[in-house]
Structure 1
Amino acid sequence: MNLFGGTINSLEKGLQYATLKNKTIAQNIANVDTPNYKAKDVSFKQMLQDKQTTFISANRTDIRHYDFEITNKPSNVSSYENFTYRNDGNGVDMDAEQAKLAQNTIYYNALVDRINGKLNTLNTVIKGGR
Structure 2
Amino acid sequence: MNIFPQSFQSLEQALSVSALKQKVHAANIANVDTPNYKSKQVDFQAALNNAAANQKMMGNRMNNQPFGLAGMQPIIKENNGTAFNPNGNNVDMDYEMAELAKNQLHYNALTERISGKLSTLSTVINGGR
Query: Which range, TM-score by smaller chain?
Result: 0.7 to 0.9
SS of equivalent to 1:4: coil
Deviation (angstroms), 1:88: 0.7
Over 3 Å counting, the alpha-carbon distance change for 1:7 and 1:73 in structure 2 is closer
Alpha-carbon separation, structure 1, partners of 2:12 and 2:6: 10
2:93 is aligned with 1:102: no
Over 3 Å counting, the alpha-carbon distance change for 1:74 and 1:18 in structure 2 is closer
Quick check: 1:15–1:108 contact (8 Å CA) kept in 2? yes
Quick check: 1:50–1:74 contact (8 Å CA) kept in 2? no
2:39 is aligned with 1:39: yes
Q: Give aligned-pair identity as a percent.
A: 48
Per-residue deviation, residues 83-112 of structure 1 (Å, max 9, x unmatched): 211111001000100000000000000000
Alpha-carbon separation, structure 1, partners of 2:27 and 2:52: 27
Quick check: 2:21–2:41 contact (8 Å CA) kept in 1? yes
Quick check: 1:24–1:40 contact (8 Å CA) kept in 2? yes
Alpha-carbon separation, structure 1, partners of 2:108 and 2:102: 10
Alpha-carbon separation, structure 2, partners of 1:14 and 1:74: 11
Deviation (angstroms), 1:48: 2.3
Over 3 Å counting, the alpha-carbon distance change for 1:124 and 1:74 in structure 2 is closer
4+ residue segments displaced more than 6 Å:
72-75
Runs of 5+ in structure 2 lacking a partner? 55-70
Partner of 2:3: 3
SS of equivalent to 2:77: strand
2:80 is aligned with 1:81: yes
Q: Say which one has the larger Rg.
A: 1
1:19-98 matches, cutoff 5 A: 19-49=19-49, 76-98=75-97
Query: How many equivalent residue pairs?
Result: 113
What TM-score does the superposition give when structure 2 sets the normalisation length?
0.78
Over 3 Å counting, the alpha-carbon distance change for 1:127 and 1:25 in structure 2 is same
SS of equivalent to 2:38: coil
Over 3 Å counting, the alpha-carbon distance change for 1:13 and 1:74 in structure 2 is closer
Runs of 5+ in structure 1 lacking a partner? 55-71
What TM-score does the superposition give when structure 1 sets the normalisation length?
0.78
Quick check: 2:20–2:42 contact (8 Å CA) kept in 1? yes
Deviation (angstroms), 1:82: 2.6
SS of equivalent to 1:41: strand
Quick check: 1:41–1:78 contact (8 Å CA) kept in 2? yes
